[in-house]
Chain A
Amino acid sequence: MILDILSWISIGVGIFFVMAGGLGLIRLPDLFTRLHAASVADTAGAGFMLLGFMLQAGLSLVTLKLVLILVFLVFTTPTAAHALAHAALLGGVRPWTRKPKDPAP
């Protein structure tokens, strides 16, 4: 029962972060800032959802596999994001910057 509640809270938090990441993907101005938003979804979002699934699965092989998914995710997503950003810079994409006349936030 307590495990169930914790698991649902964790999945709920994960959903919040995935939604925030998705919203950021639409709202932010350019490729680099959008990558920041996407990384929220695939670190905190995916992390909390997988944690919730682990609590549902209990001590079993399924949990071990969920841990492996998390490990592979943690190693591959930053590599992909780095490759994308590096390629964009090499390809001549200029990062969006705040205009000098705008007041600093």
Chain B
Amino acid sequence: MRHALSLFAVLYGLWLALSGHYTPFLLAIGAVCAAFAVAVAVRMDVVDREGHPIHLGYRVPLYWGWLAVQILVSSVRVSRIVLSPRPAIDPVLETVPASQRSDLGRVIFANSITLTPGTLSTSVEAHGVEVHALTRRGMEELKSGDMDRRVSAVEGEP
């Protein structure tokens, strides 16, 4: 129920943000549409901790801030490699251990890896993520486990 209400709030907020017209008719239509979408989602049984993870709460924005810095740092690094006269690349394909306990946590981890330039998740398994890295250094940094620990912290208690 909590998830359904939260999903309704998100959908109606999206309607208000994207429409920009605030007449009673359009406000009512928006509420009806959002309620209908929530009803369909509930019937499909996708409104749960995984499909609508509100339990992650405030930890997500904090993690996004950290991730944005990582993305910036690795973007500069990959740009330098690309712009150098002889690209110093040494691609490797290896499995990085993942300590998350839920599918949601593993998806956050794998997507974070892919979002960071220079590392790319190619396959997600039960206890690890197969990663293609542009440089050996990028792979070593990922294997140091900093990102893995942070994602597990965001995931919180199962």
Contacts and interface: CB of A to CB of B under 8 A. Distances in A.
B123 interface: yes
Contacts of A104: 90, 136
Interface of A: 16-17, 20-21, 23-24, 27-29, 32-33, 35-37, 39-40, 43-44, 47, 61, 64-65, 68, 74-75, 77-79, 81-82, 85-86, 89, 95-98, 104-105
Q: Interface majority SS on A: helix, strand, loop or mixed? A: helix
Interface string B106-121: 0000111011111111
A61 B132 CA distance: 39
B122 A85 contact: yes
Interface residues of B, number: 37
Contacts of A64: 17
Interface stretch (B27-35, B48-56, B78-86): B78-86
Contact of A36 (B71, B72, B93, B120): B120
B20 interface: yes
A79 B120 CA distance: 10
B78 A81 contact: no
